[in-house]
Amino acid sequence: MSALTPPTDMPTPTTDKITQAAMETIYLCKFRVSMDGEWLCLRELDDISLTPDPEPTHEDSWEDLTDLVEQMRDDTEDPNYLMANERMNLMNMAKLSIKGLIESALNLGRTLDSDYAPLQQFFVVMEHCLKHGLKAKKTFLGQNKSFWGPLELVEKLVPEAAEITASVKDLPGLKTPVGRGRAWLRLALMQKKLSEYMKALINKKELLSEFYEPNALMMEEEGAIIAGLLVGLNVIDANFCMKGEDLDSQVGVIDFSMYLKDGNSSKGSEGDGQITAILDQKNYVEELNRHLNATVNNLQAKVDALEKSNTKLTEELAVANNRIITLQEEMERVKEESSYILESNRKAPKQDRTSEGQALSEARKHLKEETQLRLDVEKELEIQISMRQEMELAMKMLEKDVCEKQDALVCLRQQLDDLRALKHELAFKLQSSDLGVKQKSELNSRLEEKTNQMAATIKQLEQSEKDLVKQAKALNSAANKLIPKHH
Q: Report the C-alpha dihedral over residues 109, 110, 116, 117, rounded to 10 degrees.
A: 10
- The one-letter amino acid code at 350 reads K
**Mean pLDDT calculated for residue range 377-396:** 86
pLDDT tens per residue across span 131-176 = 888 887 655 444 556 788 888 889 888 888 888 888 888 888 788 8
Percent of the residues in the chain that have a pLDDT greater than 90, as a whole number: 7
Percent of the residues in the chain that have a pLDDT greater than 70, as a whole number: 72
Q: Is residue 226 part of a domain?
A: yes
pLDDT value, residue 303:
82
Q: Is residue 119 part of a domain?
A: yes
pTM: 0.44
Rg (C-alpha) for the chain, rounded Å, is 46
Q: Of 18, 28, 14, 12, which Cα lies nearest the Cα of 50?
A: 18
Cα 116 versus chain centre, distance = 21
pLDDT surpassing 90 at residue 458:
yes
CATH number (domain holding residue 215) = 1.20.58.900
Neighbours of 286 (CB within 10 A): 13
Q: Are 227 and 198 in contact (CB under 8 A)?
A: yes
Q: Which domain, by its residues, includes 222?
A: 21-46+78-261
Angle between helix 194-202 and helix 221-229 axes, rounded to 10 deg: 160
Q: What is the mean pLDDT of the chain?
A: 76
**Mean pLDDT calculated for residue range 106-118:** 78
**Cα gap 203→211, rounded to integer Å:** 14
pLDDT value, residue 455:
92
pLDDT surpassing 80 at residue 15:
no
Q: Which of 330-334's residues contact partners 24+ apart within 8 Å by CB, and which partners? A: 330/377, 331/374, 331/377, 331/378, 331/381, 334/370, 334/373, 334/374, 334/377
**Mean pLDDT calculated for residue range 454-466:** 91
Reported confidence tier of residue 49, pLDDT bands at 50, 70, 90: very low
Reported confidence tier of residue 326, pLDDT bands at 50, 70, 90: confident
pLDDT value, residue 77:
60
pLDDT value, residue 337:
79
Residue 382 to residues 56, 284, 330, 368, Cα–Cα distance (Å): 109, 60, 15, 21
Reported confidence tier of residue 407, pLDDT bands at 50, 70, 90: confident
pLDDT tens per residue across span 256-307 = 766 665 444 444 455 556 666 676 666 767 777 777 777 787 788 888 888 8
pLDDT value, residue 225:
92
- Identify the top-confidence range among 45-54, 94-103, 347-356: 94-103
Q: Report the C-alpha dihedral over residues 453, 459, 463, 469, rounded to 10 degrees.
A: 120
**Mean pLDDT calculated for residue range 431-437:** 88
Burial (Cβ within 10 Å: 0-12, 13-18, ≥19) of residue 95: middle
Q: Is residue 291 part of a domain?
A: no
Regarding predicted confidence, which is higher, 91 or 141?
91
**Mean pLDDT calculated for residue range 204-219:** 88
Q: Is residue 148 part of a domain?
A: yes
Number of domains in the chain: 1
For 355-394, give one letter per residue: b (16+ CB within 10 A) or e: eeeeebeebeeebeebeeeeeebeeebeeeeeebeeeeee
- Identify the top-confidence range among 3-12, 21-30, 227-236, 444-453: 444-453
Q: Is residue 162 part of a domain?
A: yes
DSSP annotation of 248 reads S
Q: Of 213, 249, 251, 260, which Cα lies nearest the Cα of 128?
A: 251
Reported confidence tier of residue 107, pLDDT bands at 50, 70, 90: confident
Q: Is residue 120 part of a domain?
A: yes
Reported confidence tier of residue 253, pLDDT bands at 50, 70, 90: confident
Q: Is residue 283 part of a domain?
A: no
pLDDT value, residue 261:
57
pLDDT value, residue 44:
44
Q: Is residue 156 part of a domain?
A: yes
Reported confidence tier of residue 379, pLDDT bands at 50, 70, 90: confident
pLDDT value, residue 449:
92
- Identify the top-confidence range among 33-37, 67-71, 437-441: 437-441
> E strands within 85-154?
137-139, 142-144
pLDDT surpassing 90 at residue 21:
no
pLDDT tens per residue across span 477-486 = 888 888 765 5
**Cα gap 419→440, rounded to integer Å:** 31
